[in-house]
Amino acid sequence: MRKLIDSTAPAPALFRSVGHSVKHESAARHVAGTAIYIDDMPLTARHLHVAIGITSIAAGRIKLLDVSAVRTMPGVVDVIVQADIPGKIDIAPVFDGDPLLAGSTVLFHGQALFAVAATSFAAAQRAVAQVKVEYEPLPGQQSVALAAETQDFVVPPHIISRGDVAAAFTSAPHTISGHIEIHGQEHFYLEGQISEAMPAEEGGVVVLSSSQHPAELQKLIAEVLDVPMHKVVVEVRRMGGGFGGKETQAAMPACIAALFARRTDRPVRCRLPRKTDMLVTGKRHPFSSDYSAAFDAEGRILGAELVLAADCGCSADLSMGIVDRAVQHADNAYYMPNVAIRGLPCRTNKVSNTAFRGFGAPQGMLTTEAMMDDIARAVGRDPLDVRLLNLYGPGRATTPYGQEIEHHVLPDLLAQLAASADYRKRRAAIATSNADSPVMRKGLALTPVKFGISFTTTHLNQAGAQVAIYTDGSIHLNHGGTEMGQGLFIKVAQVVASAFGVDVSQVLVSATRTDKVPNTSPTAASAGSDLNGMAALDACNKIKAGLIDFACSTYDCAAADVHFTEGQVRAGSLTFAFADFIKQAYLGRVPLFSSGFYRTPKIWYDRKRGEGRPFFYFANGAACAEVTVSALTGEYRIDRVDILHDVGTSLNPDIDIGQIEGGFVQGMGWLTTEEMSWNADGVITSNGPANYKIPTSADVPAAFNVALFQRPNGENSIHRSKAVGEPPLMLANSVWCALRDACSSFAGYRMNPVLKAPATPEQVYWAVQQAKAFAASGKLQ
Amino acid sequence: MDFILNGKQQQVGICDANLTLLDYLRGDAAMKGTKEGCASGDCGACTVLLAAPGQPPRAINACITPLGSAANKQVWTVEALTGDGALHPVQQALVDCNGSQCGFCTPGFVMALTALYANSQRCGLQQLDRDSVTDAISGNLCRCTGYRPIVEAGTKMLQIAPAAPTLVQKPASLQPLSTNSMQPQLSDGEHSFFQPATEAELQQLLALYPQAALVAGATDLGLELTQRHRQFAQLISVGAIPSMARFEWQDDQLLIGAALPYTDLESRTHELSIPLKRLLHRLGSRQIRNQGTIGGNIANGSPIADMPPVLLAWDADIEIVDSSGKRTWHPLSSVYLGYRLTLVQAGQYIARIRISRAALERPHRFYKVSKRFEDDISAVLGAFSLELAGGRLGAVRLAFGGVAATPVRATATEALLTGSTLSDALIASACDTLKNELKPISDVRASSAYRSEMAANTLRRALLELGSGLELEVHHYPAGNEAALYV
**Does residue B164 register a pLDDT over 70?**
no
Q: What is the pLDDT of residues A633-665, one digit of tens each?
A: 999 999 999 999 999 999 999 999 999 999 999
Residue of chain B minimizing CA distance to A759: B371
Residue of chain A minimizing CA distance to B141: A696
Chain B residues in contact with A487 by the CB 8 A cut-off are 101
Contact criterion met (CB < 8 Å) for A24 and B101: yes
Supply the mean pLDDT for chain B.
Answer: 94
Q: What is the pLDDT of residues A753-763, one digit of tens each?
A: 999 999 999 99
* B341 C-beta neighbours (distance < 10 Å), count: 12
Q: Residue B338 in 3-state DSSP?
A: strand
Let me know the angle formed at the C-alpha of A66 by A63 and A72, rounded to the nearest 5 degrees.
175
- The question of ipTM being above 0.90 is answered as yes
CA atoms of B452 and B449, how far apart (whole Å): 5
- Which residues are within 8 A (CB) of A747 and not within 5 positions of it... i.e. 6 or more apart? A753, A770, A771, A772, A774, A775
Q: Is A94 on the interface with B (CB under 8 A)?
A: no
CA atoms of A88 and B39, how far apart (whole Å): 34
Contact criterion met (CB < 8 Å) for A274 and B94: no
Percent of chain B clearing pLDDT 70 (strictly above): 96
Question: What is the rounded average pLDDT of the residues A550-572?
Answer: 97
Q: Which of A705, A726, A706, A722 is nearest to A714 (CA)?
A: A722
Percent of chain A clearing pLDDT 90 (strictly above): 98
Helix A761-777 vs helix B448-468: angle between axes, to the nearest 10 degrees? 70
B175: confidence class by pLDDT, cuts 50, 70, 90: low
A287-456+607-777 CATH, one of 3.30.365.10, 1.10.3720.10, 3.40.50.1000, 3.40.50.1970? 3.30.365.10
Contact criterion met (CB < 8 Å) for A690 and B40: yes
The domains of chain B are located at: 2-171, 244-468
Q: Is A700 on the interface with B (CB under 8 A)?
A: yes
CA atoms of A631 and A736, how far apart (whole Å): 16
- CA A768 to centroid of chain Cα atoms: 33
Q: What is the pLDDT of residues A39-56, one digit of tens each?
A: 999 999 999 999 999 999
Chain A residues in contact with B90 by the CB 8 A cut-off are 31
Q: Which of A548, A565, A551, A536 is nearest to A475 (CA)?
A: A536
Q: Looking at residue A465, what is its pLDDT? A: 98
| A509, A480 Cβ separation under 8 angstroms | no
Q: Looking at residue B161, what is its pLDDT? A: 82
Chain A residues in contact with B106 by the CB 8 A cut-off are 30-31, 33
Select the residue of A29, A238, A697 nearest B134 (Cβ to Cβ): A697
Residue of chain B minimizing CA distance to A482: B102
Q: Residue A776 in 3-state DSSP?
A: helix
Residue of chain B minimizing CA distance to A187: B143
Question: What is the rounded average pLDDT of the residues A234-259?
Answer: 98
* Residue B250 bridge partners (DSSP): B253
Chain B residues in contact with A273 by the CB 8 A cut-off are 39
Q: What is the pLDDT of residues A502-524, one digit of tens each?
A: 999 999 999 999 999 999 999 99
Question: What is the rounded average pLDDT of the residues B306-332?
Answer: 98
| B362, B386 Cβ separation under 8 angstroms | yes
Let me know the angle formed at the C-alpha of B55 by B50 and B59, rounded to the nearest 5 degrees.
30
Q: What is the pLDDT of residues B17-36, one digit of tens each?
A: 999 999 999 999 999 999 99
| A512, A492 Cβ separation under 8 angstroms | no
Q: Is A122 on the interface with B (CB under 8 A)?
A: yes
A13: confidence class by pLDDT, cuts 50, 70, 90: confident
Supply the mean pLDDT for chain A.
Answer: 97
Q: Looking at residue A712, what is its pLDDT? A: 98
Question: What is the rounded average pLDDT of the residues B383-407?
Answer: 96
Q: Residue A239 in 3-state DSSP?
A: coil
Chain A residues in contact with B78 by the CB 8 A cut-off are 32-33
Select the residue of B40, B91, B379 nearest A32 (Cβ to Cβ): B91
* Residue A393 bridge partners (DSSP): A396
Where in A410-554 does DSSP place strands (E)? 440-453, 462-469, 475-479, 507-509, 512-513
Q: Is A653 on the interface with B (CB under 8 A)?
A: no
Where in B402-459 does DSSP place strands (E)? 408-409
Active-site positions of A read 726
Interface test with A, best of B141, B281, B372 (most A CBs within 10 A): B372
Contact criterion met (CB < 8 Å) for B100 and A662: no
Q: What is the pLDDT of residues A684-721, one digit of tens each?
A: 999 999 999 999 999 999 999 999 999 999 999 999 99
Q: Residue A467 in 3-state DSSP?
A: strand
Question: What is the rounded average pLDDT of the residues A594-609?
Answer: 97
Question: What is the rounded average pLDDT of the residues A529-557?
Answer: 98
CA atoms of A721 and A712, how far apart (whole Å): 7
Chain A residues in contact with B138 by the CB 8 A cut-off are 696-698
Interface test with A, best of B144, B281, B431 (most A CBs within 10 A): B144
| A201, A446 Cβ separation under 8 angstroms | no
Q: Looking at residue B176, what is its pLDDT? A: 47
A11: confidence class by pLDDT, cuts 50, 70, 90: confident
Give the β-pairing of A232-236 and B341-342: unpaired
Chain B residues in contact with A665 by the CB 8 A cut-off are 145-147
Contact criterion met (CB < 8 Å) for A190 and B45: yes
A27-36+462-599 CATH, one of 3.30.365.10, 3.40.50.1820, 3.40.1350.10, 3.40.50.20? 3.30.365.10
Cis preceding linkage at A758, omega within 30: yes
Q: Largest alpha-carbon pair distance within chain B?
A: 71
CA atoms of A62 and B381, how far apart (whole Å): 43
Q: Looking at residue B162, what is its pLDDT? A: 80
Q: Looking at residue B223, what is its pLDDT? A: 95
* B392 C-beta neighbours (distance < 10 Å), count: 12
| A513, A477 Cβ separation under 8 angstroms | no
Buried b (16+ CB within 10 A) or exposed e, A136-156: eeeebbbebeebbeeebbbbe
Chain A residues in contact with B461 by the CB 8 A cut-off are 632-633
Q: Is A691 on the interface with B (CB under 8 A)?
A: yes
Q: Looking at residue A2, what is its pLDDT? A: 86
Higher pLDDT among residues A485 and B53, named by residue: A485
Question: What is the rounded average pLDDT of the residues B10-16?
Answer: 94
Q: Looking at residue A384, what is its pLDDT? A: 98
Contact criterion met (CB < 8 Å) for B102 and A633: no
- Which residues are within 8 A (CB) of A495 and not within 5 positions of it... i.e. 6 or more apart? A17, A18, A529, A533, A536, A537, A540, A651, A718, A719
| A479, A465 Cβ separation under 8 angstroms | yes
Q: What is the pLDDT of residues A134-171, one digit of tens each?
A: 999 999 999 999 999 999 999 999 999 999 999 999 99
Question: What is the rounded average pLDDT of the residues A173-192?
Answer: 98
Q: Largest alpha-carbon pair distance within chain A?
A: 92
Select the residue of A663, A699, A766 nearest B372 (Cβ to Cβ): A699
What class is the B244-468 domain?
Answer: alpha beta
Q: What is the pLDDT of residues B209-224, one digit of tens each?
A: 999 999 999 999 999 9
Q: What is the pLDDT of residues A267-319, one digit of tens each?
A: 999 999 999 999 999 999 999 999 999 999 999 999 999 999 999 999 999 99
Select the residue of B77, B146, B367 nearest A665 (Cβ to Cβ): B146
CATH number for the domain running over A47-139+193-271 = 3.90.1170.50
* A387 C-beta neighbours (distance < 10 Å), count: 27
Q: Is A485 on the interface with B (CB under 8 A)?
A: yes
Contact criterion met (CB < 8 Å) for A696 and B150: no
Q: How far is CA A235 from CA A190, A729, B96, B277, B297, in A?
A: 20, 29, 30, 50, 46
Q: Looking at residue B83, what is its pLDDT? A: 66
Q: What is the DSSP string of B341-391?
A: EESPPTT-EEEEEEEEHHHHHS-EEEEEE-SSSSS---SEEEEEEEEEETT
Contact criterion met (CB < 8 Å) for A704 and B454: no
B170: confidence class by pLDDT, cuts 50, 70, 90: low
Residue of chain A minimizing CA distance to B367: A633
Q: Looking at residue A234, what is its pLDDT? A: 98
Contact criterion met (CB < 8 Å) for B373 and A698: yes
**A27-36+462-599 against A287-456+607-777: fold identical:** yes
CATH number for the domain running over B2-171 = 3.10.20.30
- Tell the burial category of A673 from Cβ atoms under 10 Å away from its Cβ (0-12, 13-18, 19+): buried
| A571, A551 Cβ separation under 8 angstroms | yes
Q: Looking at residue B165, what is its pLDDT? A: 63
Q: How far is CA A69 from CA A111, A276, A280, B229, in A?
A: 20, 21, 23, 18
Residue of chain A minimizing CA distance to B18: A122
Interface test with B, best of A25, A29, A185, A190 (most B CBs within 10 A): A190
**Does residue B231 register a pLDDT over 80?**
yes
The domains of chain A are located at: 27-36+462-599, 47-139+193-271, 287-456+607-777
Question: What is the rounded average pLDDT of the residues A384-412?
Answer: 98
| A355, A247 Cβ separation under 8 angstroms | yes
Q: Looking at residue A778, what is its pLDDT? A: 82
Q: Looking at residue A308, what is its pLDDT? A: 98
Question: What is the rounded average pLDDT of the residues B298-302?
Answer: 93
Interface test with B, best of A119, A489, A633, A664 (most B CBs within 10 A): A633
Chain B residues in contact with A690 by the CB 8 A cut-off are 40, 42, 377
